[in-house]
Amino acid sequence: MAQKPGQTTVKTLFWGNLLFAAGLALHFIWWRISLPVRQAKALGLLLAAVSVSGLAALYFFTALPFRPESGPEFFNLALYLAAFCLAYLITYSAVEVDSPSLVMISRIARSGASGISRAELDADMGDEVLVLPRVADLLTDKMAVLENGCYRLAPKGVLLAAFFRLSRKALKAGKGG
């Protein structure tokens, strides 16, 4: 289909937002029907499937409006979709697992003007809540292995640890946490 000159400027914005919105809509519907066991993985696969299907449809159905036509236009749209899907996936990790800072703020806010003491905060936030479940996650995600009562990094964990150690070194930052 022949395109008017003005159509070429809205392709990325139009299809990028439409496909991302479609992915979010399917995500909301799926989650309200049944919560996946591995939520982040399911969400990543869903958003990737919608993006790839959408790009394939745009490639094959030439009658679609505002359709990208050249390699650079398809790449620009794919980049836009990838950036938004990645940003949402990262944000979703905070929905799946609450950060200690946000939990602390919520508890302090709930305590109102009288506030909350350190002892009251500590009572709910011990090692068994803040640290040990995270150690268990390392085993579940195959980042670490438990041998003879000791934890050590698995190859996947060695790679990720080296990646973060080097990036922290580049920033002249400490261990973090």
Partner 1 sequence: MNWFQAFLPVYGLAADMALVVLLSRCGLSLLKSVYAAFACGLGLVLASSWFSGAAFPQLLADSLCFAALGYGFFHFLNMGETARRIRLLLELEAGGQLAEAEILSRYSAKDIVDVRLGRLLRNGQIKELDGRYVIGGSAVLFMAMALVALKKILLGKTNVEISGA
Q: Which is nearer to partner 1, 45 or 108 (CB)?
A: 108
Using CA atoms of 4, 5, 8, 10 in order, give the dihedral in degrees to the nearest 10: -80
CA distance 81 to 95: 21
Q: Which is nearer to partner 1, 61 or 163 (CB)?
A: 163
Min separation Cβ 50 and partner 1, Å: 16
Q: Which is nearer to partner 1, 9 or 53 (CB)?
A: 9
Min separation Cβ 162 and partner 1, Å: 7
Min separation Cβ 100 and partner 1, Å: 6
CA distance 169 to 7: 47
CA distances 87 to 13, 30, 102, 157, Å, are 16, 20, 19, 23
